[in-house]
Each structure stands twice: as structure tokens, then as C-alpha cells.
Chain A
Amino acid sequence: DAGVTQSPTHLIKTRGQQVTLRCSPKSGHDTVSWYQQALGQGPQFIFQYYEEEERQRGNFPDRFSGHQFPNYSSELNVNALLLGDSALYLCASSLADQPQHFGDGTRLSIL
């Protein structure tokens, strides 16, 4: 039973570029949440997708957008990258009220 998988593992971009991160949820899960984790900090909620719609959003600018596909997989897009966007991006999947399970994350570095 595959857990949450994210790709790519690492990514290096320059300021102003755009990036797309991908997430496949754990089998049987229908909800995907995205988090940003800066070094030495806890994960910060970006947004959550359910039934292909953004169900809730955290305090992140519109540069951060997402999508959920009919197979429940999801993408996180970030436009006009800033140095401060460097972080570990975590995807978590869940089903109804069950706990969220995290993927290993994508380490994004902005030069």
C-alpha cells in the first residue's frame, strides 16, 4: 500500500521563475493538503483540496495556487518565486475525519 508520494524530491530555481510540485495521495484518501515548512519551524498550512476544489486556504499570497485531479492527485504551483519561498513543501492526504499522512516533501531552493 503506497503512501503519499511527492515529486520532485529536490528542486532549484531562480527568483521570478515558476514551479509545479506534484503529490499522489495515499490509496483510499480523497483530500490533499499542502504545507510549507521553513527550516526549524512547524509546517504552515497553504491550502486543502477536496472534490477538486480548494476547500480552505491559509495566509499565503495568490502566487500560490493548486489543483486537484479526478484521481485525487494534486499540484502546487508557485509563480514569481522569491528567495523566501525556499522551504520544504509537504503534501498530506486524508479521508474524512481521519488523520493526515504526510509525504517526504519537496525541497525547493531559490537562488
Chain B
Amino acid sequence: QQPVQSPQAVILREGEDAVINCSSSKALYSVHWYRQKHGEAPVFLMILLKGGEQKGHDKISASFNEKKQQSSLYLTASQLSYSGTYFCGTEIRGGSNYKLTFGKGTLLTVNP
């Protein structure tokens, strides 16, 4: 089942913060975050594993709440280069399930 992302779109001024959420109705093994700029390939940001810790690099971090089956992506002090569509991909382990199911995406626009 497709994870639900919120918000669908967000507009920021450079330097502002944003949070993007990803929720699933199924028990998740992992959550993968990607950013896709228009006309380009999705670029891997980070992976959150069940039982894992909050991850981050530079000013982008993420968390995974196993009780709620929800992951959040935190972008602090946003830069113009952060603009793009952010997708979460969820993975459910068990049996032979290897696929990633992506949400519809969150369009982030950072203005000067």
C-alpha cells in the first residue's frame, strides 16, 4: 500500500526550516528518502531502518517512529539547492518482499 506524504507542497524562503512526513498503514522494515529535481533522476538521501537511529547529514535529517509507522524528513536552514520533489519509499520485509513503494511526493520550493 502506498505511503501517504504530507504536505503535498511547501514554499520556503532561503534559511527557513521544513518537515515532510511519510505515513504507512503497514509495519515497515525501512524508509528510504529521495529528492528528484525536474527532469533528473531521484537522488538517494538516506535510509531509516527499523530499530535504527535518527540519521542525517549536513542540514537534512530524518527519523522513524516505529509505533506510528511514520518517518519525518527535517530540512533546516534551507538552501536554494534543496528545491525539488521529495519522495519516501517504504519497504516491508517478510517472505520475498524486496520492492520499494513510493509516496506521491512533496514538492519543495525554496525562494531567495
Contact = CB atoms under 8 A, between A and B. Distances in A.
B77 interface: no
A100 B32 contact: yes
Nearest to A48: B98
B64 interface: no
A52 interface: no
A100 B41 contact: no
Nearest to B5: A42
Interface residues of B, number: 21
Contacts of A90: 41-42
Given A99-B47, A100-B32, A45 B99 contact: yes
Interface string B74-89: 0000000000000101
Contacts of B104: 40-42
Interface residues on A, range: 20 to 34
Interface string A19-42: 000000000000001010000111
Nearest to A3: B41
Given A90-B42, A101-B44, A105-B41, A42 B98 contact: no
A102 B41 contact: yes
Given A33-B99, A56-B96, A43 B42 contact: yes
Contacts of B89: 42-43
A50 B99 CA distance: 12
List of 9 A-B pairs having minimum Cβ-Cβ separation, nearest first: A42-B102, A102-B41, A45-B99, A104-B41, A102-B42, A99-B44, A43-B102, A42-B87, A56-B98
Interface of A: 4, 33, 35, 40-45, 48, 55-56, 58, 90, 99-105
